[in-house]
Chain A
């Protein structure tokens, strides 16, 4: 083992250093001074993110358990971007609520530990590392969901998350044990060579897949999503719906495109086919009848997960590139929507769609951001969301699955209806008691500006997709 190899793990070690520095800093601050941790933490994380853009080397460490390539590194950078936006959005809430309770740096510590778990999960070269990363990324989020300890709803969402996550990881483990039993190894490159599609391997992989499907909230495993999103603090719900889901999509991409027993045989294609249709349709139908905006965004994120599945049918680089691009677009659009909900909920405590009646008169800028976000989520050109969906549909069409393509397009139209309900409430309806005007803090405004720039720029500028595509080839 050469010591130079330590540079391969640079990005993880950097984040670990950031976590330790912020934890140590808090020791020297007392009382109200603890609020100073917030800008310090955000500055350090920005530094970490910028340093992450330096081109990494390619290689393996720890006998192949840890591996990194430019593509893997870019996925980590995308997750960093999502976390930075979440940090900016939560800054005001942290200052308002957590400083008095003296629980500031723990929030950052838990959030970043979970991100560290995702790094290791994406970089894993064997299933043991993958499992450890998965657990490290899930457990802190459960603690974060229950973070507002005095609210019953927060505690309830925490218990629902930890129990369903526990069941999912136990089933994943059962699956890995079957894969190990039939092959005698759990290193991913060796598994790819040995797996041939016997029934034990298929059963093991199905169990394994179920655990990850839970994290992305595909349909038979989505029951926890709306409850957890509604009860958890809004920033944590945004993190769950974007960063956590994005990392699980990335790891599923590595597994489905390489590890499926006997290749993408007919059984697996049909399993995905049915799951994609169920997820899109049920997510959309349930989103139609939600009144609470956080539950509404939860079901809309279930439906978006169904659209992501469409990218798995094409085995070439265009499928992979379209998934990564969609995750990037989804980070900007969904975080913009969550940001507006968060700003209004911190300021007024209201989360129902009826409370948004006449928002345009009271607060035109916020409602414009929300308009862009839902249009991008629905996929209206020229916004980024349109191209995200367009590339996914193209990859399904290139695989020749026109029925699936048709169902996906119908679902897009259905989703347009409920996204427009929000727009109608904000712009067309009048309210007896509209929300009062308020100015959100600078951090929140900065995060919304980043999201809006992302939504507009990714829609107009094609360089990003070409860069991702060229890495996938």
Chain B
């Protein structure tokens, strides 16, 4: 519980992060920035869990458990994504989304 900050303000921040992330995911052209947008959404969810836990259900640490697992899984996911991006970069010497279009109908 942070004195002077209400749950509503924290939720506003996390919702903003969610929408900025989705917007970035759709519009960005660089694969690394797409990954950064993804990370924004994941962290928005992590903030949600921690905030709900602290403000509404302070008795049990359920939400914080979920946040911890979420951070670990997000790290694994990004590590794998970056490995695949590096492999792609070796093939076409670019990380631009527009160049990744050999598979088309």
Contact = CB atoms under 8 A, between A and B. Distances in A.
Interface of A: 128, 131-132, 135, 139, 142-143, 146, 149, 152-153, 155-160, 162-163, 166-167, 169-171, 173-174, 176-178, 180-181, 184-186, 226-227, 230-231, 286, 289-290, 295
A162 B81 contact: yes
A135 B77 contact: yes
Contact of B48 (A152, A162, A181): A181
Contacts of A156: 88, 100, 102-103
A149 B87 contact: yes
Nearest to A177: B48
Contacts of A178: 48
Contacts of A135: 73, 76-77
Contacts of B103: 153, 156-157, 160, 226-227, 230-231
Contact of B65 (A128, A226, A286, A289): A128
Nearest to A135: B73
Interface of B: 18, 21-22, 25, 31, 34-35, 38, 41-42, 44-45, 48-49, 52, 56-57, 62-63, 65-66, 69-70, 73, 76-77, 80-81, 83-85, 87-88, 91-92, 100, 102-103, 105
Nearest to A226: B105
A142 B76 contact: no
- Per DSSP, are chain A's interface residues mostly helix, strand or loop, or mixed? helix
B66 A166 contact: no
Given A152-B102, A173-B45, A177-B66, 6 more contacts: A128-B65, A167-B22, A167-B38, A186-B62, A226-B103, A227-B103
- Per DSSP, are chain B's interface residues mostly helix, strand or loop, or mixed? helix
30 contacts: A128-B65, A128-B69, A131-B70, A132-B69, A135-B76, A135-B77, A153-B102, A153-B103, A155-B84, A156-B103, A160-B100, A162-B81, A163-B25, A166-B35, A166-B38, A167-B22, A167-B41, A169-B77, A170-B21, A170-B42, A174-B45, A176-B45, A180-B49, A184-B56, A184-B62, A226-B103, A231-B102, A231-B103, A290-B105, A295-B105
A374 to B, nearest CB: 21
Contact of B84 (A128, A146, A152, A186): A146
Contacts of A163: 25, 31, 34-35, 38, 81
Contacts of B42: 170, 173
A128 B73 CA distance: 11
Contacts of B105: 226, 286, 289-290, 295
B66 A174 contact: no
Contact of B88 (A143, A159, A230): A159
Residue with the greatest number of chain A CB neighbours at <10 A, chosen from B35, B48, B103: B103
B44 A180 contact: no
Nearest to B92: A152
A159 B80 CA distance: 10
B31 A174 contact: no
A174 B18 contact: yes
Contacts of A131: 69-70, 73
Contacts of B87: 146, 149, 155, 158
B66 to A, nearest CB: 6
B80 A174 contact: no
Nearest to B50: A177
A143 B76 CA distance: 12
A121 to B, nearest CB: 13
Given A149-B87, A152-B92, A185-B62, A170 B49 contact: no
B77 A139 contact: yes
B82 to A, nearest CB: 10
Contacts of B91: 152, 155
A152 to B, nearest CB: 5
A128 B66 CA distance: 7
Contact of A174 (B41, B62, B73, B102): B41
Contacts of B83: 143
Closest 5 CB pairs of A and B: A177-B48, A170-B41, A173-B45, A181-B52, A184-B57
Contacts of A185: 62
A167 B25 contact: yes
Given A128-B65, A180-B62, A170 B88 contact: no
A139 B88 contact: no
Nearest to A138: B77
